[in-house]
Chain A
Amino acid sequence: EAGVAQSPRYKIIEKRQSVAFWCNPISGHATLYWYQQILGQGPKLLIQFQNNGVVDDSQLPKDRFSAERLKGVDSTLKIQPAKLEDSAVYLCASSPPLGRSEKLFFGSGTQLSVL
């Protein structure tokens, strides 16, 4: 079974630049999550999609972060403009449609460095 695919694996940008991350969840998984993991901390949920609708984006800094999941499959997360404190690993995860977070499948993440 193919896992959650993310790209790019690494990204280095300067502050105030924009950046986008891409995620392809496991086929058939209705729920998709974007997490931010700052060094030394646990992952923090940024946004959760159920199919192509947003379920929870309460911790997404909406002045600079945006995310979409067109057609309920792939998703992109964008930061514009980036700040130094956005340096982190951005994890995408997906779970089957039965809910209850029975098991989240994580991608390898995109490591973002903002200089």
Chain B
Amino acid sequence: AQSVSQHNHHVILSEAASLELGCNYSYGGTVNLFWYVQYPGQHLQLLLKYFSGDPLVKGIKGFEAEFIKSKFSFNLRKPSVQWSDTAEYFCAVNAISNTGKLIFGQGTTLQVKP
């Protein structure tokens, strides 16, 4: 069965610090990979996605993620965080053979101190 693991449950950073959130998945086949974000009081929204091609994908608000197939990882990065990045971040995986069914990780709460 597919599963997604996010290593950090709660991260606290100061503004301008660099961010990297880990995400690993377990599935042997071809996958689509996603990062979703939920800002306080708002609904979940797509941050970025990987389907194929360049394993380094760029999303909104300066976020990027790198797909490393050999490590089954899809880590999220941002060089310099802002207070407005405070949110909960979810990694999600969809097996190509299982269109539509997203498996989410447990989420990482990011708190950025001004």
Contact = CB atoms under 8 A, between A and B. Distances in A.
Contacts of A33: 100, 102
A91 to B, nearest CB: 7
Contacts of B4: 42
Contact of B106 (A31, A40, A91, A103): A40
Contacts of B7: none
A42 B37 CA distance: 11
Contacts of A43: 44, 90, 102, 104
Interface residues of A, number: 28
A24 interface: no
Contacts, number: 65
Interface size of B as a range: 20 to 34
A100 B46 contact: no
B51 A100 contact: yes
Report the 9 A-B pairs with minimum CB-CB distance, sorted nearest first. A42-B104, A106-B44, A106-B43, A101-B94, A108-B43, A99-B99, A42-B106, A43-B104, A42-B107
12 contacts: A31-B100, A33-B102, A42-B92, A42-B106, A43-B44, A43-B102, A55-B100, A99-B100, A100-B94, A101-B99, A106-B43, A109-B43
Interface of A: 3-4, 31, 33, 35, 40-45, 48, 50, 55-56, 91, 93, 95, 99-104, 106-109
